[in-house]
Amino acid sequence: MASGFFALFDDIATLMDDVAAMSKSTTQKTAGLLADDLAVNAEKASGFVAARELPVLWEISKGSLLNKLIILPVAFLLSAYLPVVITPILLIGGTYLAFEGVEKIYGYFFHKGEKKQNDLDTKLSKKEILAREKAKIKSAILVDFILSIEIIMIALGNVVEEEILLQIIVVTIIAVLATIGVYGVVALLVRMDDLGYKLIARSDSKESFMAKLGAGLIKLLPWLIRALTVLGTVAMLLVGGGLYVHNIHYLHELLHALPSMLAELLVGLVVGIIALLIFKLFKLVKGAVNNKD
């Protein structure tokens, strides 16, 4: 009895060692995508009223955890019984990400004036502000869903030859760490100005190091948000294009001479432009049909 009890502990210790080793290896393989995930989600989580930033982030974080709860069991089942559908799902997600990235570029160049007008509009009611906030939260959760699928699929691919229990533990750890890590860093970024004001308030004079550091953090935040907006857009194109390049052999062979990031960016742009044109055409046709009615 005692020997069986200690053998059980030995099995658990061995499993934990395997989990630790595989988790480390899988984290390294998903690190690049997690960095993209951070850039995209920081851009998605910015632009809210200061008092609403943390509540909004909490809503997005809850949505992200729910995404993982949905994706994880489905991913394990598909990987085991229907692996053929995984690639089409990834390509649909890649199309959406590329579309989002190109749409942002299109909006910047062709609807710049409208955006400025919206930013200056102070006549929005509380109901309208909350409706816009809700729409942005939904968009952020949808993008998180697509990024989560790829993170989980890459993590699963790294442990696909291990026993099912090890697969479940390792991939679940990666999924949870992705949510906590990404949204924890985003929360710190969007509240950087609050930290700056607190440092200034606790300083003895405006010339002290703490006061200068606080003022620097306040000035840095808008530039950081703008940089993350650009990085988030580029990241969406890279991830979207990457899903095509890595899952369509012909594209991979066609573009293998190019640096991988350039190939993924080019494919992301092309896919996004095609998706945007189809979307615009659909809206045009729908508008024409509605006018006839």
22-78 pLDDT, tens per residue? 555 555 544 455 665 666 666 666 656 566 777 888 888 888 889 989 988 988 888
Domain boundaries, the chain: 7-292
With pLDDT > 70 as the criterion, what percentage of the chain qualifies? 75
Q: How far is it between the farthest Cα atoms of the chain? A: 83
Count other C-beta atoms under 10 Å from residue 169's C-beta: 18
Instruction: Write out the two tokens for 278.
Output: 């189809």
Mean predicted confidence (pLDDT) in 150-158: 75
Q: How far apart are CA 173 and CA 177, in angstroms?
A: 6
At 185-230, the pLDDT tens digits run 777 777 777 788 888 888 877 778 888 888 888 888 778 777 777 8
- Convert the pLDDT of each residue in 113-140 to its tens digit: 555 444 444 556 677 777 877 888 888 8
Query: Does the pLDDT at position 232 exceed 60?
Result: yes
Q: What pLDDT, in 10s, does the model give residues 93-115?
A: 889 889 988 998 998 888 665 55
Summarised one tens digit per residue, pLDDT across range 248-262 is 988 888 888 889 889
What residues contact residue 278 under an 8 Å CB cut-off, 6+ apart? none
For the chain, give the mean pLDDT: 76
